[in-house]
Amino acid sequence: MSDDATRPADEVAAEEVVEHAAATQEGAADEAAAEQELVADPADAPEVSDEAPEPEDDLEPAPASGLPDAGLLPDDPVMAAIVGSVPGARYESSFGQDVIHVDREQLPAAAAAAAEQGFLMFSDLCGVDYLRRRPRFEVVVNLTSLQHRRRLRIRAGVPGGDPTAPSITGVYPGANFYEREAYDMFGIVFEGHPDLTRILMPDDWEGHPLRKDFPVGAVPVQFKSSPQVR
Amino acid sequence: MANPPDIVTGELEAETIERVRGGDATSTVEDERRRLADVWAAGTEEPSWVRRATSEGAQEMLVEEEGGELSSQRGTAVGDDYVLEDDTSGEETQILNMGPQHPSTHGVLRLQLELEGEKIRRVKPVIGYLHTGMEKTGEALNYLQGPTNVTRMDYLSPFFNELCFSLAVERLLDVEIPPRASAIRVLMTELNRMASHLLWLATQGLDIGALSIMIYGWRERELLLDFFEKTTGLRMNHNYIRPGGVAADLPDGWQDDVAAILDQIPKGIADYEEILNENPIFIDRTQGVGVITPEECYALGVSGPVLRAAGVPWDLRKAMPYCGIDQYEFDVPTRTHGDVYDRYLVRMDEMRESLRIVQQVADAMPAGDYRTEDRKVTPPPRARLDQSMEALIHHFKLFTEGPKVPAGETYQAVESPRGELGMYLVSDGGAKPWRLHVRGPSFAAVQALPVMMADSLVADIVATLASVDPVLGDVDR
């Protein structure tokens, strides 16, 4: 039994958060240099941050490129009701699909508003690492309304320097595993999650593999070692 | 419970220390003595190590006060419906690990079961044993190579993975798919649905002891796999449905093969139903077992046959049709009880509905090309390469670099045999996906296992687990 197992889980998680935040701050200076190395071809990264002036507010999600109708209040009452009840929410139609951008603090409120409007089924939650965009990460929640036969995607930017977001497990219990996966893969800490531990990677894995600056093929494969018994 | 250790004299039973330490060589006896002293000094009636018997670090099943697996579902329609009986107490529980090597866990699923005698108090699924980083791999493969990767996720319904990926890419590319390609896609996916359900029937039978059903299920499935092999060259992981259409046209004589399938499978289904429907052992093992309500399904993201067996006629083929599947006539079978038996009935009916669709597709297979003429995604025909320099360049660029997909993000879902299979695709305008997230139906189903299994018997675990038909390649990806 490792030392961690004997301590309360929230204490361990809190320490991880602190350690992680410290590591991120230390690494911030090197980040630009590292990005240059890792993203050798600039065309590989999304072309948003370079042209667009970076907003002062780190939480304001950058609009996706090539989608001019972002921010317009939607016509139909369902979307308008959700956008209207969440402060700072913006509607966007992405290839004919309904997308609502919210601040990360408003994630549970947006989820609750969507549930109120009939989006009862939780479909999906995942993280995305945009690396050179601000905010760096994004949490994407997919909801389905059986009543309206339509989908809704809620996107919330999460800054790379402080990768935390409130958990929506209070609204949709099904987000439990998905938030664990996003934490495991991107290091996004969901505050209020009942049991935020790694779900796919081994417990002692270092780093978060789906981050774009996680090296591929450059490190030896990490294995969970067995304790020596003799 | 063991007697409290004597803190004053510092005497600890070696056996106690051994149990608490769990054989970890790093902590010393002194450490343990200090920690145990803290535990007892704090006056907690139940020291934390009593239930922490699995030595699993962060994956430990938490004690309920700290937020165990089921207590996370408080505050919603989903609840821990376990009622503590008077004559039992928490001290009599034990934790049993089932899997990841257990033969009935459909791969490498592991369940931590907290038992009170024969009764399940809590279940915690532990996954990740088959994680191979396929989402990360997907970011390194271009859009033509992508289907080879995703087809290996849910290995029992590979066509659906390819279809979902292709539809997502095509939505971003905005290309038109010829009717024949769409019809072939519907044909292959519906045949695949039958193959998957047949394998489910085989393993469900195997898991609850009906060995003959296992053999029968595999016998009929072989017919379908032979046809897949004839069409795609492979029995599994076909890489047949690709962005822009399908890889090759149907083989000569495919009508005869489909006719043979349409002739054989209904006979098989009739046989299985004759064996199982009224079978008292099968009914005893499945009726009222593993019940889940529609509300719990919504909250936990459970879809597919499990949701339909709970009484909700939700099928993406009807609700959000793709590949022109809405032009074919079929029904969405539902049942009301939401137990294992109803899931069995729903799947048997779904196979019949798939047969109906296959019959209609085979009768009205449109002529024409099996892939789009759009040169953005489809290479020019071989003969053109000798005549046109542009064709040669197109061909070369497509296979070295891959098709470039406009920037944007989209979510595409199809109704796989296990439920909603979704892919969230983010493109930065390059030839490889910036992010490929796969929402596997089994992932949500495994998450819902604690709700279905709570308060049941140990023997019901395998029946319930088999009935949600999890594919661990889909769960862990």
pLDDT for B265-320, tens place per residue? 999 899 888 888 888 888 888 888 888 888 888 888 899 999 999 988 889 988 88
Q: Do A66 and B171 touch (CB under 8 A)?
A: no
> Quick check: A186 and A127 in contact, CB under 8 A?
yes
Residue B197 forms contact with A (CB below 8 Å): no
Task: Place B21 in a pLDDT band, splitting at 50, 70 and 90.
Answer: very low
Query: In this complex, is the C-beta atom of B254 within 8 Å of any C-beta atom belonging to chain A?
Result: no
Residue A18 CB: number of other CB atoms within 10 A? 10
Task: Provide, as residue numbers in chain A, all residues whose Cβ is less than 8 Å from the Cβ of B332.
Answer: none
- The rounded distance, in Å, linking the Cα atoms of A78 and A82 is 7
List, as ranges, residues 343-382 from B with C-beta within 8 Å of A: none
Token code pair at residue A66: 């090539």
B 117-176 residues with CB below 8 A of A?
127-128, 131, 133, 135-136, 140, 171-172
| Cis preceding linkage at B100, omega within 30 | yes
Inform me whether the C-beta atom of residue B461 falls under 8 Å from chain A C-beta atoms: no
Given a cut of 50, whether residue B327 has pLDDT beyond it is yes
- Is the CA virtual torsion A169, A172, A174, A178 positive or negative? negative
DSSP lists the bridge partners of residue A127 as A139
Spatial distance between the Cα atoms of B41 and B10, rounded to a whole number of angstroms = 14
CA distance A172 to B78: 10
Nearest to A142 among B55, B299, B422 (CB): B422
Encode chain A (230 residues) as per-residue pLDDT tens digits. Answer: 444 444 444 444 444 444 444 444 444 444 444 444 444 444 444 444 444 444 444 444 444 443 434 445 567 788 888 888 888 888 888 888 888 989 888 899 999 988 888 888 899 999 999 888 888 899 999 999 888 888 899 999 999 888 999 999 888 888 889 999 999 999 999 988 887 888 888 877 888 888 888 877 655 666 666 667 76
Which residues on chain B are in Cβ contact (under 8 Å) with A12? 58
**Residue corresponding to tokens 């595999």:** B218
Q: Please identify among residues 147-186 of chain A the ones whose CB lies closer than 8 Å to any CB of chain B.
A: 149, 151, 153, 169-174, 176-178, 185
Task: Report d(CA B433, CA B342) in Å as an integer.
Answer: 40
Residues 6+ apart with CB under 8 A from B69: A195, B61, B62, B122, B123, B124, B450
What would the two tokens of residue A63 be? 């609009």
List Cβ neighbours of A89 (8 Å cut-off, separation of 6 or more).
A82, A83, A100, A101, A102, A106, A110
- Answer whether B376's CB lies under 8 Å from B186's CB: no
Q: Does the pLDDT at position B75 exceed 50?
A: no
| pLDDT of res. B86 | 46
**Pair B90, B46: CB distance under 8 Å:** yes
Interface of A with B in 93-132 (CB under 8 A): 94-95, 97, 120-124, 126, 128-130
As given in the structure block, the two tokens for residue B428 are: 């930065």
- The reply to whether residue A126 touches residue B424, judged by beta carbons under 8 angstroms, is yes
Cβ B296 vs Cβ B78: under 8 Å? yes
Interface of A with B in 13-42 (CB under 8 A): none
Per-residue pLDDT tens digits for B122-164: 888 888 888 888 998 888 898 988 999 999 988 899 999 999 9
Please check whether residue A61 is in contact with residue A155, taking contact to mean a CB–CB distance below 8 angstroms.
yes
The helix/strand/coil state of B324 is: coil
- Locate the chain B residue with the closest alpha carbon to A195: B67
Nearest to B127 among A3, A178, A199 (CB): A199
φ and ψ at residue B291, rounded to 5 degrees: -75, 140
On the 0-12 / 13-18 / 19+ scale of CB atoms within 10 A, B332 is middle
Q: Quote the CA–CA distance of A162 and A198 in Å, as a whole number.
A: 19
pLDDT digits (tens, 9 = 90+) for B53-73: 445 556 666 555 544 444 333
CB contact under 8 A, A173 and B78: yes
Task: Say how far apart CA A1 and CA B16 lie, in whole Å.
Answer: 14
Q: Which of B411, B449, B476 to mutate to test the interface with A (most CBs of A within 10 A)?
A: B411
What pLDDT is recorded for position B190?
Answer: 93
**Amino acid sitting at position B197:** H
Interface size between A and B, measured as CB pairs under 8 A: 180
Task: Please compute the mean of the pLDDT values over residues B205-215 and round it to a whole number.
Answer: 86
Question: Mind telling me how many Å the CA of B112 is from chain A's nearest CA?
Answer: 14
3-state SS track over chain A: CCHHHHCCHHHHHHHHHHHHHHHHHHHHHHHHHHHHHHCCCHHHCCCCCCCCCCCCCCCCCCCCCCCCCCCCCCCCHHHHHHHHHCCCCEEEEECCEEEEEECHHHHHHHHHHHHHCCCCEEEEEEEEECCCCCCCEEEEEEEEECCCCEEEEEEEEECCCCCEEECCCCCCCCHHHHHHHHHHHHCCEEECCCCCCCCCCCCCCCCCCCCCCCCCCCCCCCCCCCCCCC
Residue type, B265: I
Using an 8 Å CB-CB cutoff, list chain B residues near A63: none
Q: What is the pLDDT of residue B126?
A: 86
Residue B439 near chain A (CB below 8 Å): yes
The answer to whether B157 touches B320, Cβ cutoff 8 Å, is no
Query: Which amino acid would we find at residue B132?
Result: T
Mutate to test the interface with A, among B447, B451, B452 (most CBs of A within 10 A): B447
Distance from CA of B329 to the nearest CA of A (A): 19
Tell me the per-residue pLDDT of B399-419, one tens digit each, with 9 for 90 and over. Answer: 888 888 888 899 999 999 999
Is the predicted ipTM greater than 0.90, yes or no? no
Task: Please tell me which of the candidates A8, A64, A95 has its beta carbon nearest to residue B66.
Answer: A8
